[in-house]
Structure 1
Amino acid sequence: MTLLLSNEDAAEVLTMSNTLDALEELYRDLGTGSAVYRGRTDLFAPTVAEIGADIPAAHQFKTLDGAIPRLEVASIRVTSDVVAFPEVNGLRRRIKIPAATGKSYVGLVFLFSSATGELISIIQDGILQRFTVGAINAIGAKYLSRRDSSVVGLIGAGSQAGPQLAALKQVRPIRHVRVYSPTAGEADSFATKMSELLGIEVTVAESAEAAVTDVDIAVTATNSRVPFFPAAWLKPGMHLSCMQRDEPNSDCFKEADVVVFHTRMKEHEYVSTDFAETEKRFNFVMRDHPPRDLDWNDFPDLGELVAGKIKGRQNPQERTFFLNSTGVGAQFTALAHLIYNGSRKLGLGYEVPAEFFVESIQP
């Protein structure tokens, strides 16, 4: 039987603690080469969704995959998104449009058995994605930030910001957070919610720079497609944790004493010719991330850090920097396996006969 699992089912199983444990084991596997994944693939095509004549938009079809022999599973994550790139406060941002039935989104993880090749589960990816991104950056902080780090500066108060803090609190003794968001009222509601949820003091900063002044860990959790975090804000002893690669200025990569990427493997992007014409009209390259003048091979990755192949922080004064450069397919394999096993034990989900997903004709 193939088990269909919703975000609600995933939320019954996942905790930030078991997510961190599962992913730290995964990155040890990746660091030793016993787990494998491919670079992300993005297809961009025009969309007929009504976004607005003056806003660039696209249909972005994205896949990531990975296999973990230790768990005897492999997976592929598929997202089918309608995306737009509006300008907000002078900065270009990427937003997903809820264009599917009932104003919803489309994202699924397909989990396969390495023993039989069968599809054993299909899992909605929303909760899984939030947990995994928060946990990945926290693992970076565990190996790179000072052990006594207790004050966090957070830029961004959207859906990904909460998991960033929840995961950090698992690996460091966080007691105070300052949060900034350019969206009116967003930081205030976030501070109220997270103070109660995490049992720590969360206050609102008046600017991005004020949020990260004199903090131990600076976290960026935004959808900006224009870099905004300069190396001048990265002070001795601080750890910078960026949720995506468009947030830090280029000087951060040169000025930080230790820089670690999530992965050195870049995504592969393919664009239809008619969509390319749309890009010319807007004079804007509508990729998930605009190109940057960086050689990713110059930097170590998280697997090497967790496996002990490279050193992390060496002294309290070092300025460290972890960049969640792009996704790793195996991260979804690890959490899909965790959700699948937990759901089986709890009797969650909806079973579909496996015969729907196998065939007698050899392809």
Structure 2
Amino acid sequence: MLVLNNEVTAGVLTMPDVVRALEQSYRDLSAGIAVCRPRIDLSLPVDDERVYQWGTMDGGSARTGYVAIRMKSDLLTEVTTGSNRTQEKYCVEPGTFCGLVLLLDARTGEPLALLNDGLLQHLRVGADSAIGADFGAREDARVLGLLGSGGMARSHIEAFRTVRPLERVRVYSPTRANRERFAAEMREKHGIDVVAVDTPGKAHEGADMVAGCTDAVGSVVLGSPLRPGTHITCVGGRLDADALRRVDVWLRLGSASVPTSAPAWATDDEYVTYRARPDDPVWQRHRHGKEARRPPGTARVVRLDAVLEGRARAREDESQVTFSERGNIQGAQFHAIAALVYERARERGLGREIPREWLLQDIRD
């Protein structure tokens, strides 16, 4: 089995690779060739402020023969600074994180690779937004309004550039130094006009596409400055009530498979949470993810499979405000992109090997 870190992933995987791999994985899921479960979280109180969260998402494809589970081990807190409330996380100590992807061969059962999930996470979320923008944004979309200046914001600029020729980005995040540093880095890397602005509203102004890419708990995409024809994605934070009311088309990339043995377990929610000590006071301090994301009753809901098969269109005219969201198919993502990394790393002799014998046993499980 290969152990593959983020540096290996960076050397063998590009954003266009990920966009193509995810779109094919979603086609497989729609056709019943692939299966996945929604993200499942186990949450336990630690003390008055922190909770521990073990999160998993898994899936596989009969077409490719790959199966993968992504696993996250996080200590979570929520922090209020001024008017901003954010979710902070770490493993062992602030600044370090534990997220792993185990890739297996369905044809033999063999564990093939163990990958860090950090770069895969940023790439796959950005690629989802790119797929949504490809079908939901206007063809002439050139200006991106960005809320957030961290790793997700970086991957989103790269992702949107795979489907639209971005010319300008207006970015806001609460810390001035962070947003200005981000703008300078992105100008140099991509050769486009990236401007740091000092209010969320200014990031929306003149934008053809607006992306929320923050760890904020509350609303980040604002309805009042949205202009007709805008496309929206929001992978961190939420749309405010006015923005929700303005959404004309809600594009959902997909839904997790329904268990054949327990159809009643089917859910459209992004993740399923199991809590220890559910009455513990600490849960009152954690608002992140309390409300499931739902389309407004006035929006036309379109599924990506219908768009891919030509049965529906996301955008029907230039004035519609469109919104795209993944749904709960995270489990369909990691086997597709981890397999790409594994195959290319194996071809190039990258990564570290763990002997297969360490992982197999002669006692029946």
Per the TM superposition, whether the score is higher than 0.5 is yes
**Residue of 189, 194, 198 corresponding to 2:186:** 194
Partner of 1:61: 54
Letter in 2 for 1:157: S
Q: 1:359 to 1:251 in 2, by over 3 A?
A: farther
TM-score (structure 2 length as normaliser) = 0.89
Partner of 2:352: 350
SS across alignment from 1:170: coil
How far is the alpha carbon of 1:195 from its aligned partner?
A: 0.6
Partner of 1:272: 276
Q: Distance in 1 between matches of 2:346 and 2:188?
A: 32
Partner of 1:146: 138
**Residue of 240, 249, 257 corresponding to 1:249:** 240
Q: 1:39 to 1:137 in 2, by over 3 A?
A: same
Q: 1:196 to 1:103 in 2, by over 3 A?
A: closer
How far is the alpha carbon of 1:94 from its aligned partner?
A: 0.8
Unaligned runs of 5+ in 2: 256-267
SS across alignment from 1:185: helix
Aligned pairs for 1:119-198 within 5 A: 119-198=111-190
Contact 1:72 1:113 in 2 (8 A): yes
Aligned pairs for 1:65-80 within 5 A: 65-80=58-73
Q: Distance in 1 between matches of 2:227 and 2:152?
A: 25
1:6-51 CA-to-partner distances (Å, cap 9, x unmatched) read 1111111111121111112112222333221111110111236xxx
1:198-248 CA-to-partner distances (Å, cap 9, x unmatched) read 11110111211111112111111111111232333332111111124x421
Partner of 2:97: 105
Q: Distance in 1 between matches of 2:144 and 2:217?
A: 23
Q: 1:325 to 1:157 in 2, by over 3 A?
A: farther
Unaligned runs of 5+ in 1: none
Q: Distance in 1 between matches of 2:353 and 2:81?
A: 44
How far is the alpha carbon of 1:324 from its aligned partner?
A: 4.0
1:86-115 CA-to-partner distances (Å, cap 9, x unmatched) read 112323211112425x95211100001110
Letter in 2 for 1:173: P
Contact 1:253 1:259 in 2 (8 A): no
Q: Distance in 2 between matches of 1:27 and 1:74?
A: 15
Whether 1:22 and 2:21 are equivalent positions in the alignment is yes
Letter in 2 for 1:256: V
Q: Distance in 1 between matches of 2:76 and 2:311?
A: 38
Aligned residues: 350
Letter in 2 for 1:322: S
Partner of 2:263: none
Contact 2:254 2:328 in 1 (8 A): yes
Partner of 1:260: 251
Q: Distance in 2 between matches of 1:137 and 1:155?
A: 14
1:311-361 CA-to-partner distances (Å, cap 9, x unmatched) read 211121211111245561111111100100010111101111212222333
Letter in 2 for 1:158: G
How far is the alpha carbon of 1:288 from its aligned partner?
A: 4.7
How far is the alpha carbon of 1:302 from its aligned partner?
A: 3.7
Quote the RMSD (CA, aligned, Å).
2.2
Aligned pairs for 1:178-327 within 5 A: 178-244=170-236, 246-264=237-255, 265-266=268-269, 267-273=271-277, 276-279=279-282, 283-284=284-285, 286=286, 288-292=288-292, 294=294, 299-325=301-327
Contact 2:147 2:220 in 1 (8 A): no
Q: Distance in 2 between matches of 1:188 and 1:321?
A: 27
Q: Distance in 2 between matches of 1:77 and 1:18?
A: 19
Q: Distance in 2 between matches of 1:31 and 1:141?
A: 20
Letter in 1 for 2:78: F
Q: Distance in 1 between matches of 2:22 and 2:129?
A: 11
Q: 1:287 to 1:208 in 2, by over 3 A?
A: closer
Partner of 1:33: 32
Contact 2:36 2:329 in 1 (8 A): no
Structure 1 outlier segments of 4+, above 6 Å: 295-298
Partner of 1:331: 333
**Residue of 81, 89, 109 corresponding to 1:96:** 89
Letter in 1 for 2:9: A
Q: Distance in 2 between matches of 1:78 and 1:346?
A: 26
Contact 1:39 1:328 in 2 (8 A): yes
Contact 1:41 1:63 in 2 (8 A): yes
Q: 1:296 to 1:357 in 2, by over 3 A?
A: farther
Letter in 2 for 1:161: A
Q: Distance in 1 between matches of 2:296 and 2:26?
A: 18
Letter in 2 for 1:138: A
Q: Distance in 2 between matches of 1:173 and 1:119?
A: 40
Q: Distance in 2 between matches of 1:130 and 1:37?
A: 20
